[in-house]
A and B are shown apart, each in its own frame.
Chain A
């Protein structure tokens, strides 16, 4: 299957995005109150200075190798491929990282930036709790005070991760405003940051938010795609024909996609949460059923009502339950480089069960969306073709949710 990425877009230099003010085409930018501008300027100039600094890069690489356990394997899922029928299915095993998801790649990077600022207090927002755990982890390792904002509803459905964060020494701050989920946790983290900007570093967990966050999160997560590209060439002598990753804010997806953007033969699929189905309106798929707007410091596709109020989203997976998406995804959608599709709750659950049984790998419910779409895609492709699926996290954290669906009390 060849990419339908049109030749008219050849002039696009993906490495030159975003522009100096953080724009990906019409998206991204810096839509924040004046009080945050200086903190963002400071972060941006620090990042510019350290980005190409060999010492900083060496420290990042060292931590990823020895603390996170990278490179993560690119695993040929032979049995799953046979059962599915069609293209060969490979899993990029981000679930094997320390703390169990791709989130740690970014928190390691941002914690190194925090260290250079000398700020002793870390804050973060979290939905499923994976980013919260990854932040609490790096804060524990560096001896920094850590506060994680989490929607009250998410605290209930992700109680295991809440306890993990507490064990790691973090304070989990329940957020009771608005819809009590990830978007409100992000609002609350921004409020905290405005107030405590002198001593506080804000580690955003996804490739959204005001410039320079989408750029730096992408760059820290791009280790996923760089490894996958090398591993694919080393193991099969070819580039994959397609990449599949789930998209909430979209950091695991952009991390996998970005190093392949100039490989025109590689098709890319970002899988949004279809929830109870697009037609039901109860989903978290702004790229499929939203319109561009401004939230959390950037312009991007959003789920909103006719008055411009952000609406509540639904997904079985807390990590995808977000009404916005990283601005680079919005741009990649508009220029047609990446296809954005949806998988609903039931399809994701089925994929969770089948991958667990067939491969002995339990995917996070977020990643299960990518697994489900990859199955559909593989069946339309030839056996000599190859798909890489980003297995962005492991499913242990979701066991209680799955048990509840099965009517079992664990």
Chain B
């Protein structure tokens, strides 16, 4: 599908179970590098669960069991030799609700790099990360101020700066703009277009217009069959095709609002 793109993440026959409950079933797809891939689908179809598979966040749920493979540039991140903390350094995450630490703006950005033993110039790293997150001009004179004093949109961009500061290759975003007003949402969307020059982005969104606006590829998720509670990817393709001529009837029905 993407002749011109390198593959960053390759998912093969992925299943996720929570105890007896199967949450994700038989997902296989490839995420192109330095592109934005959106995951859409109705509530409860496992979009966030799927996103969390990309940096082993589901490991933090005690009963969760992941089978299948997630290859990150060819390396299976679920291999027993792989350290999940190392995975998360390369594959960062931004959540729905901005979650800055109750520390200064500066410390929020510097925090991750510091625990990773960053040896370079910290001031430079903080500035570079804040600039990349399109927040520098708004906070450069207030770096010592508490991050909690920022607006919701600024806090979200701070969280993006914090994710960038550890120099990951992939940024996962779980509904990054759903708690923000339209202007702050547009800023995040514009920022994503800048970020994709350097990073692979995977975003979960309920907002189909947002998926259509920002993403290059779209994965449509749905419960795998009637009566089942396991989600799966039913259609994956270039975003313009998904939103103008989807191949699967269920994608058509969902994006045109016939159900969902």
A in complex with B: no
Residues of chain B at the chain A interface (Cβ within 8 Å): none
